[in-house]
Structure 1
């Protein structure tokens, strides 16, 4: 075989590989590393059994669905949120799955903004189960208001809850994991922790802060390879996060239900989260297009990303002012359903 023919074959192979990746990307609802792990990686059903997993924000949305899927894997669960009645409801449904027993689920009410309570809560979990294998930092709140209309107290509240509360709880659990030289700290961040979007200035700030903190912590823990720091960055997912979002005042939330059929199913998002946890992925992006595309553009072509973000941002503000879900118009062409 001549060198010229060999070079042509290599070039053709590279072109075909690129074409395959592009076709995969068109239908992707997560970053390509995550989807490869879904196809060829380790299964949550193999990797996450017999673990003690503490989930904050477990009373609704992604946290609630995560607890339900984990309950089918034979784990011990700690359920935390502020609403005790909702936690008890979630616990009852977990028990209905028939795998877990009463002793396997510990309901632990927790207010992330009450940082003085976090050490005691951590001790309570250790007293109940003797260890913490995975901490899932899922508790948090979003925002829907224009920056110029928003009271400074809203930004403070979002930082207290989304950032400082999460950091505080992590710092209480971390010494235990360092002592054992193993554990996973999984933080449900957001695509808005990577990019930014109008109507969410305070939320974006808190999520960017989280990403910066945990990326730094990961490097500082390099001498403990058994401790995983993972950032989960979902895009729009079916939940009450918009309904419960803060607006221009701390005392005022959106409070109305929005159409959610255009958003990713919560069950699909959580399944991809479990795959990332089973495969020890450090950061994953979970979203349909065009949001996934925008994140890739921000990563590799920021000038084009600014151009597209400005277009989408204007539409987002227009939707908000018209009383619509801010993101609804993007999905009419792009949405791919995953059952």
Structure 2
């Protein structure tokens, strides 16, 4: 066997191995490398002050629990003060934090006039903000023709403008210190789009554009990291609390979540992103991760495929069936 043939066989085997790794991956290649060879959250995030919005449920709640095990000082924000107190009590059960290490700070992202006061309250309590995690927001489950325009305004006010406003309040402090991390939990719908969520997709695409632009503005501050994280379907209340055709009407039930990624796994990958200062990461099981790559590199094909899958999604919605699970459930993969 010649050297040329040996190299060809080796290259083919390497390609097959990489393909198998990708099919089993639940994050983009840079994130998977960071998980394998990168810095550990347990080394990098201790003794920091972390402000988490949307901390009363879902990803934000799980972030609070995992961060509390790292010995950080926590600021927990959301609209529901009673739920924040519940999360705080559970964080204290880890014995890594004391009462003084957790500040419950109720916050309405749509009330932008309160953001400056809230920022000052955090600085008065802890003296600094090392990491801001923009996690607050709501999703949508309704068709455009059935949906009031007020729903679209509310989605932009909450998901986009609320996040921009809070970031704008915290950023001067980080610039003064010449260090800090602004981490925004976006969605794969900020990279792609899907029916029943046109307003939600618009707000998430807007966030992507905003933070990509802000990152370039901060090029002279290398100590400030802008990280945008795009999770796929994750076990949470996001669908249950989603807007429908009217502002004051929500879905009210979550549906089947068995095909979605475990929240604990998603949050672990978010912490790895923070520890390694990754700029943009995709977190999702297959087939959603593959679909995102196709959308990035084969957009015309992906738009054709999305139109086919979208018809089924709309049919499920109209029939009262969970929009996604009936045809993605066979492909599910759970992380313990």
- TM normalised by structure 2 equals 0.98
2:57 is the alignment partner of 1:60: yes
Who is 1:232 aligned against?
Answer: 229
- The CA RMSD over aligned residues, in Å, is 1.2
2:331 is the alignment partner of 1:334: yes
SS at 1:230's partner residue? strand
Residue deviations 1:20-69 (CA, integer Å, cap 9, x gap):
21101111111121111111111111111000000000000100000000
Who is 1:265 aligned against?
Answer: 262
Mapped contact 1:177–1:227 kept (Cα < 8 A): yes
2:305 is the alignment partner of 1:305: no
Give 1:119-158 correspondences, 5 Å limit: 119-158=116-155
Residue deviations 1:76-127 (CA, integer Å, cap 9, x gap):
0000000000000000000011110001000101000000010110011001
Q: Structure 1 residues 10 and 179 mapped into 2: Cα distance closer, same or farther (>3 Å)?
A: farther
Mapped contact 1:27–1:336 kept (Cα < 8 A): no
Q: How many Å apart are 1:10 and its aligned residue? A: 4.1
Q: Number of aligned pairs?
A: 336
Mapped contact 1:290–1:330 kept (Cα < 8 A): no
Mapped contact 1:79–1:109 kept (Cα < 8 A): yes
Q: 2:47 aligns with which of 27, 46, 50?
A: 50
Mapped contact 2:28–2:281 kept (Cα < 8 A): yes
The worse-fitting range, judged by mean Cα deviation, of 316-325 and 5-14 is 5-14
Mapped contact 1:55–1:77 kept (Cα < 8 A): yes
Who is 2:217 aligned against?
Answer: 220
Q: How many Å apart are 1:19 and its aligned residue? A: 1.5
Distance 1:291 1:280 in 2: 24
The worse-fitting range, judged by mean Cα deviation, of 34-43 and 67-76 is 34-43
Q: How many Å apart are 1:304 and its aligned residue? A: 1.7
Stretches of structure 2 lacking an aligned partner (at least 5 in a row):
none
Q: Structure 1 residues 316 and 50 mapped into 2: Cα distance closer, same or farther (>3 Å)?
A: same
Distance 2:330 2:259 in 1: 10
Q: 2:195 aligns with which of 190, 193, 198?
A: 198
Q: How many Å apart are 1:168 and its aligned residue? A: 0.2
Who is 2:71 aligned against?
Answer: 74
Mapped contact 2:142–2:196 kept (Cα < 8 A): yes
Mapped contact 1:141–1:245 kept (Cα < 8 A): yes
Distance 1:330 1:128 in 2: 49
Q: How many Å apart are 1:14 and its aligned residue? A: 3.0
SS at 1:208's partner residue? helix
Mapped contact 1:71–1:99 kept (Cα < 8 A): yes
Give 1:157-172 correspondences, 5 Å limit: 157-172=154-169
Q: How many Å apart are 1:15 and its aligned residue? A: 2.5
Mapped contact 1:294–1:308 kept (Cα < 8 A): no
Runs of 4+ in 1 over 6 A off after TM superposition: none
The worse-fitting range, judged by mean Cα deviation, of 265-274 and 5-14 is 5-14
Q: 2:280 aligns with which of 280, 283, 289?
A: 283
